[in-house]
Amino acid sequence: MSAEARDDRWTQRWQTRRVQRLYPLPPGPVDAEQAAGPRRSPHADRPWLMLNMVASIDGAAAVDGLSRGLSSEADKALFVALRAQADIVLVGARTANAERYGPARRSGARIAVVSGSLSVDPDLPLFRSPSDPATAPLPLVVTTANADPDAAARLADRADVVPAGTESVDLHAALRHLASLGARVVLCEGGPALNASLLAADLVDEVNLTHAPLAVGDEAPRIATAPVGGSTPPGPREYALEHVITQDGVLFVRWIRSRR
């Protein structure tokens, strides 16, 4: 079954099951597009940044290292609807490697892998040569100016390698570069280290969190975990509750950054 057919199947299953908005009032049924919300607007100097993650009720962001153990049909339908809003999907190298990322499915959209060390696997399905480069632009790899030149060379004909920062990836500069490419909305899909860095930089405008009705009970990472030896995290960021949706015991919660 093709990826597009799976997307259609998840959307159809969402539509045939009872999906209810609990907040804001009044409650009522919604479809996946309504759950994804309206088209976002960019900032003056960078795209709007959404974060989409799934977690268990005890805070685990993965089962056996993969998020699919926490996912559901409804979660996949919302995933597809949020991706339809994004011009660029941003993902860390470890997550891209573990989940075996492929190319963007929507015409014109791109995947951008963040890897300061260029540890991304050059043999990922993501880096297969597009059949028509005019309509399927190369994926992006965001790295540093000091990245391993040999690793960069291995990716040169498979991706657009973008230096942002010197010793570590400058996420502000990376997002400004994505804006220069025409990106208005960026969707980050993890992993925890990239999420933590974006939150620390106060670049996350919106958090979409699926609460899976499971308790994992192991040492799985949370949705945002700062890398060992990283800089001291800033104080808490304030977010406002946007909506709460439920289906089959799964909760979908959206939070919007409060910027005053």
Locate all alpha helices (DSSP H) within 87-245, ordered by sequence. 93-99, 149-155, 171-180, 192-200
216 has pLDDT over 70? yes
The confidence score (pLDDT) of residue 65 equals: 83
For residue 102, give both structure tokens. 């492929």
Give the class (CATH, top level) of 47-228: alpha beta
48 burial via Cβ count (<10 Å: 0-12, 13-18, 19+): buried
**Three-state SS for 33?**
helix
pLDDT band at 15 (very low <50, low <70, confident <90, very high): low
This prediction has a pTM of: 0.89
Give the HSE-up count for residue 145: Cα atoms under 13 Å, Cβ half-sphere. Answer: 6
CA dist., res. 11 & res. 257, Å (int)? 28
Which helix or strand (DSSP H or E) is residue 188 part of?
strand 185-188
Residue 134 falls in which region: left (phi positive, over 0), alpha (psi -120 to 50) or beta: alpha
142 has pLDDT over 70? yes
